[in-house]
Amino acid sequence: MAERSFSKEVQSLRLGAGEVFHGEGILAVTKALLQSGVAYVGGYQGAPISHLVDVLVDSQDLLDQLGVHLETCTNEAAAAALLGASINYPIRGCVTWKSIVGTNVAADALSNLASPGVIGGALIVIGEDYGEGASIIQERAHAYALKSSLWLMDPRPNLATMVDCVEKAFELSEATNTPVMLELRIRACHVTGSFVAKDNVAPAISRNRLLAEPAPHNYDRISHPPSTYIHEKLKHEVRLPAAQRFIVEHGLNELLPGERQDLGIIVQGGLANVALRGLDRIGLGDLFGRVQIPTLVLNVTHPLVPDQIVEFCAGRRAVLVIEEGQPDYIEQQVAAILRKRDLQTRLYGKDVLPMAGEYTAEVVTDGLLKFFAQTANDIDLSGPRERLEAARAHRSKALQLLGGPLPLRPPGFCVGCPERPVFGAIKLVEREYGKIHISSDIGCHSFATLAPFHLGNSILGYGMSLAAAGAVAPVMQRRTISVMGDGGFWHNGLLSGVSSAMFNRADRVLIIMQNGYTSATGAQYLPSSTANRRDQQRTSDIAATLRAMGVGWLRTIRTYDVGEMMRTLRDAMTTKFAGLKVIVADGECQLARQRRIRPEIAAALKRGERVVRTRYGVDDEICTGDHSCIRLSGCPSLTIAPSPDPLRTDPVAHVNNGCVGCGLCGEIADAAVLCPSFYRAEIVQNANAWDRMLFRLRQWVIARLQGRNADSGTAPALQPAE
Ligand code: SF4
Ligand code: SF4
């Protein structure tokens, strides 16, 4: 039930040697895993690598044929621990997650994996969700590579390089007994291109080729003292030099030669295309890698190879390091290498490029211009500078004409989202009790922190909202409310939140949004989904789990019933019951629901069956135009329209065609005692004789009430849909 089905694209995973693969980067990475003889794969979804897991789920038949085990993990720690198979057995494995948050969750297992090291190739594909498109905190996984001695690859975003890096990553891992992280930015995941495929390789040890015996006990492979003291020495004395040798011998970093011998550029592989774009704009290169300034593309950003850096920098007056994000790990290392080898090459980096923020083509072009301005008088920069200034002037002119910056468009809940009514109910309850401390979480429900709800005081991580209220609740006169999704509950909230709160006899309120999927990452299944990827069986039940843990105050409420939700919230906020109070807010993700029912409706219509759809509307003659309904709902379908009354200038509320008929409008208007302007309409398709007769009868009654003839030709208010 993922957001996007790859069932067609996965056919390209079956391509054999010599055939040409065309498609997206993330699909190419998946093909590279199969070409590398991977024996097990797993992960936790999240942008920008959700599709890697989704593609694998859609490839189950192929995985079964090859004997590859696929594990859809409930969090990144579980995914990282999966790599433990490669500690004792010569089998290749790959796991994936969204970084930096996923790497944080996986950190414990990663440390314990990196310490003993691996004998089978272990690869971690991380989606570095960095920059203005990112939905998370801005940090770099590079820190983990440095502290845990993991190797970090950052391939140039073209398919051939990415595939090559995946294959080489397994070899590097085995040659150095070290897990390798491969970082993909969002553009790399979705870049399209082609490469010449190889045959898939069935692993020598797999689900289809079982081991007769477990590995012999070897304490050296346990991450406990005194083994850890040996591991620490191995990391530095054996694995690091082996990795540096491998990087050079296999040409993992690319040198783009250029005629200027006095200048150079060192760039992270993932940013190489942006750097080429900048050089192209300045007239010093093109998009295909032909450059006038020699450029060292680091497809491996950790470890650096000091000899390679020295060889590249020696004899050059100045070198620019293009490295996105902070701190400037690579620049600092290059500076240290140059200093230790007593090279006088002047180093530029974060002094001409910004320390923080995404390195877009404009940002990098600007940095390149500053670098050349300080280092190369002979390059005429007037043209590119003018073009950059002209582009900026054009943008500010457009802003001027628009009368200032465009209004922000914060993300919000989908039309008909089942989570919206809960926040409407909280807002209404706040009118009675005053403001409540809301501890928010990761997931769609975090949209409530934005307009029009503005509900949420903090977000501490996925599944952490209940724990995050731990020290707030005891100092608060009013009870706190923690909101967490079912995804967050299974990911971490069950133990870090509920178990800890029970253990500490916490007097807090928890709302669990049970929408049935990890919706924010593309609607993947959860342990409590009504189905899972293999069959239509629910594996776990949230309410039953909570009861088994001893939660004594537990209510399951249909989210769209705003009145009942308000009564339950009042009860939770005021009950004498002093322990944890949990409300399971039940309502299927509307996006997933629409995706599920649309084909069913289309099929029913095709068969000529009667189909009834519900829509809501606003009677524009009754609407007072105060828009309280919009402030309490925030549904994108509930918008405004000019008032039909010439004496009223305020626009009226209006429900547009996007309405899915969830019913919240009516519920909220009723619960908040708003004007009675909402009406509910049923759209009947393939109407039967009874529907038609009823319709005519209604038209007749309406016409009588209006004092006209039902057949007078006046357009009826509601036509039966065919
Ligand atoms: S994806 Fe589902 S849960 Fe998320 S905002 Fe949309 S309808 Fe709501
Ligand atoms: S009924 Fe109201 S809240 Fe629900 S989808 Fe329609 S406009 Fe939106």
Q: For 657-681, what is the HEC assignment? A: CCCCCCCHHHHHHHHCCCCCCEEEE
Q: What pLDDT is stored for residue 6 in this prediction?
A: 73
Backbone phi, psi, residue 562, to 5°? -65, -40
Q: What confidence tier does 717 reach under pLDDT thresholds 50, 70, 90?
A: very low
Is the pLDDT at 132 greater than 80? The verdict is no
With 0.85 as the threshold, say if the pTM is over it. yes
Residues with CB under 6 Å of ligand 1 are 413-414, 417, 419, 444, 515, 519, 589-591
Is the pLDDT at 714 greater than 50? The verdict is no
| Residue 646 tokens, joined | 């010439």
- Three-class SS state of 194: strand
Residue nearest to ligand 2 atom 4, measured at CA: 662
Q: Which atom of ligand 2 is nearest to the CA of 660?
A: 5
Q: What is the mean pLDDT of residues 646-653?
A: 88
Q: What is the mean pLDDT of residues 538-564?
A: 96
Rounded CA gap, 594 and 657, in Å?
15
Q: What pLDDT is stored for residue 720 in this prediction?
A: 44
Q: What is the mean pLDDT of residues 396-419?
A: 90
Q: What is the mean pLDDT of residues 279-283?
A: 96
Residue nearest to ligand 1 atom 4, measured at CA: 444
Q: What is the mean pLDDT of residues 499-525?
A: 94
| Residue 14 tokens, joined | 């079956």
Select from 358, 177, 386 the least CA-distant residue to 268.
358
Q: What pLDDT is stored for residue 135 in this prediction?
A: 82
Is the pLDDT at 591 greater than 60? The verdict is yes
Q: What is the mean pLDDT of residues 309-335?
A: 98
| Residue 68 tokens, joined | 């590859």
Determine the distance separating the centroid of ligand 1 and the alpha carbon of 590, expressed in angstroms. 6
Determine the distance separating the centroid of ligand 1 and the alpha carbon of 635, expressed in angstroms. 12
Q: How far is CA 581 from the centre of its chain?
A: 30
Is the pLDDT at 125 greater than 90? The verdict is yes
Backbone phi, psi, residue 306, to 5°? -50, -45
50-58 vs 25-35: helix axis angle to the nearest 10? 60
Q: What confidence tier does 247 reach under pLDDT thresholds 50, 70, 90?
A: very high
Select from 301, 183, 331, 308 the least CA-distant residue to 245.
308
Give pLDDT tens digits for 229-238: 999 999 999 9
Q: Which atom of ligand 1 is nearest to the CA of 447?
A: 5
Q: What pLDDT is stored for residue 715 in this prediction?
A: 43
Question: What is the number of alpha carbons within 13 Å of residue 191 lying toward its C-beta?
Answer: 22
Residues with CB under 6 Å of ligand 2 are 415-416, 616, 633, 635, 637-638, 655, 659-665
Question: Which ligand lies nearest to the CA atom of residue 595 in the structure?
Answer: 1
Give pLDDT tens digits for 475-486: 999 999 999 999
Pocket test for ligand 1, best of 3, 417, 560, 659 (most atoms within 8 A of CB): 417
Residue 291 DSSP code: B
Select from 12, 7, 8, 69 the least CA-distant residue to 198.
12
Rounded CA gap, 717 and 376, in Å?
74
Residue 150 DSSP code: -
- Three-class SS state of 123: strand
**Residues near 435 by beta carbon (within 8 Å), at least 6 away in sequence:** none
Question: Which ligand lies nearest to the CA atom of residue 661 in the structure?
Answer: 2
Q: What confidence tier does 649 reach under pLDDT thresholds 50, 70, 90?
A: confident
Q: Which atom of ligand 1 is nearest to the CA of 419?
A: 8
Is the pLDDT at 494 greater than 50? The verdict is yes
Pocket test for ligand 1, best of 3, 45, 413, 593 (most atoms within 8 A of CB): 413
Backbone phi, psi, residue 61, to 5°? -60, -45
Q: What pLDDT is stored for residue 721 in this prediction?
A: 43
Determine the distance separating the centroid of ligand 1 and the alpha carbon of 592, expressed in angstroms. 8
DSSP lists the bridge partners of residue 638 as 655
| Residue 438 tokens, joined | 């809301």
CB 511 within 8 Å of CB 484 = yes
Q: Which atom of ligand 1 is nearest to the CA of 415?
A: 7
Question: Which letter, b or e, does each residue of 208-234 get, where b requires 16 or more Cβ atoms within 10 Å of its Cβ?
Answer: eeeeeeeeeeeeebeeeeebeeebeeb
303: left (phi over 0), alpha (psi -120 to 50) or beta: beta
Pocket test for ligand 1, best of 4, 50, 419, 637 (most atoms within 8 A of CB): 419
Determine the distance separating the centroid of ligand 2 and the alpha carbon of 683, expressed in angstroms. 15
Q: What pLDDT is stored for residue 605 in this prediction?
A: 95
Select from 111, 115, 75 the least CA-distant residue to 96.
75
Q: Which atom of ligand 1 is nearest to the CA of 519?
A: 1
Is the pLDDT at 391 greater than 60? The verdict is yes
Is the pLDDT at 150 greater than 80? The verdict is yes
Determine the distance separating the centroid of ligand 1 and the alpha carbon of 591, expressed in angstroms. 6
Q: What is the mean pLDDT of residues 680-704?
A: 93
Residue 406 DSSP code: P
Q: What is the mean pLDDT of residues 646-650?
A: 85
Determine the distance separating the centroid of ligand 1 and the alpha carbon of 634, expressed in angstroms. 13
Q: What is the mean pLDDT of residues 652-667?
A: 92
Determine the distance separating the centroid of ligand 1 and the alpha carbon of 428, expressed in angstroms. 22
Q: What is the mean pLDDT of residues 616-634?
A: 89
Determine the distance separating the centroid of ligand 1 and the alpha carbon of 515, expressed in angstroms. 8
CB 39 within 8 Å of CB 206 = yes
Is the pLDDT at 207 greater than 70? The verdict is yes
| Residue 165 tokens, joined | 């890096």
Give pLDDT tens digits for 2-20: 556 677 778 999 999 999 9
Determine the distance separating the centroid of ligand 2 and the alpha carbon of 422, expressed in angstroms. 14
Pocket test for ligand 1, best of 420, 449, 519, 633 (most atoms within 8 A of CB): 519
For the chain, give the mean pLDDT: 93
Q: Which atom of ligand 1 is nearest to the CA of 443?
A: 4
CB 556 within 8 Å of CB 586 = yes
The H or E element that residue 620 is part of is: none
Residue 617 identity: G
Residue nearest to ligand 1 atom 1, measured at CA: 519
Q: Which residue has the tokens 């942006």?
A: 274
Which residue has better confidence, 451 or 250? Answer: 250
CB 87 within 8 Å of CB 218 = no
Q: What pLDDT is stored for residue 405 in this prediction?
A: 84
Determine the distance separating the centroid of ligand 2 and the alpha carbon of 705, expressed in angstroms. 30
Question: Which ligand lies nearest to the CA atom of residue 416 in the structure?
Answer: 2
Residue nearest to ligand 1 atom 5, measured at CA: 413
The H or E element that residue 604 is part of is: helix 590-606
Q: How far is CA 156 from the centre of its chain?
A: 21
Rounded CA gap, 555 and 581, in Å?
8
Q: What pLDDT is stored for residue 49 in this prediction?
A: 84
Percent of the chain with pLDDT over 90: 82
Determine the distance separating the centroid of ligand 2 and the alpha carbon of 659, expressed in angstroms. 5
DSSP 3-state helix, strand, coil percentages of the chain (rounded to 5)? 40, 15, 40
DSSP lists the bridge partners of residue 481 as 438, 509
Q: What pLDDT is stored for residue 144 in this prediction?
A: 98
Determine the distance separating the centroid of ligand 2 and the alpha carbon of 632, expressed in angstroms. 12
CB atoms within 10 A of CB 386: 11
Residue 606 identity: K
Q: Which atom of ligand 2 is nearest to the CA of 415?
A: 5
Q: What pLDDT is stored for residue 89 in this prediction?
A: 98
Dmax of the chain from CA atoms? Answer: 100
